[in-house]
Structure 1
Amino acid sequence: MNYTQETTINTTQKTKSLKQRMLGIALAIMFALTLAGTFMGMQTKTTHAATNNTYLVSIIRNVFGPYSDQAIRIAQCESTMNPNARNTMAIGGSYASGLFQILYPSTWNGTAQAGKSPFDPQANAQAAYQLFKGDGFRWTQWQCKA
């Protein structure tokens, strides 16, 4: 083997080694960015959920006063604190809707909130309180119990 052949082999090996290192670095950077993005995305969702839950709890506390701990348990059980929850199983042509899963339109239309959306958490909490109060401060209209 002559000098030119040895130089060509060494250059080829160095180039191959450099390409492998660069590929390894590029993959490591891509992995790090993906991981960072995932963590940032999870943080955003968690923060949003916590903020939304805090907002909903404050609505319930303002509407239900001394009964708010019970009302929070009912809303958590009925809708998992989701003001947009809607049960797809109809009961007499109505669907359990909103934070407290009030039957819409049947029960909802009998409340003072009938002109509002059952998916408005403030209106849903006020309608739930009206029903709760009308039933002698008992949770008789809900499957979940406080």
Structure 2
Amino acid sequence: MKHREKVTSYLDSLIKKGTTPGLQYAAVNGNQVLFTYQRGYSDISKNTKVTEKTTFNGFSITKTFTALAILQLAEQNKLSIDDSITKYIIKNPYGEDVTIRQLLTHTAGLPNPIPLKWIHLIEEDMGLATPYPVNLVSFLSIG
């Protein structure tokens, strides 16, 4: 079975199992798109299917991509992860002591440049909370 068929089969299985209502995948080599995949629904309540134009929120997964790109630049000696971020970012409210390494290891941070409100309401998460306090004894006896 070719790589594309394996990937398609696996992604189809995720949709069938109900792991996700819909997804989109692209295999890219440089600037060339090798193949794309779109299946399932972007909005189940409206029966809206995922298409090549469907957008998804990236959220924290972008941290992984950014870290990978930075480490590739470090391997190519185009930067050092111990560089101060002020070498690359003009406005840093925390001064010159913050390094790229600290950002990558989450031991330092930057303020959010896009002050967006959370996409969902806190009330949506309320049902996820434990309905009663868990004491240490009951927690330890779980398993």
TM-score range, shorter chain: under 0.3
Hey, which of these two has a bigger chunk of strand by percent? 2
Hey, which of these two has a bigger chunk of helix by percent? 1
Q: Greater Rg, structure 1 or structure 2? A: 1
Q: TM-score, normalised by structure 1?
A: 0.18
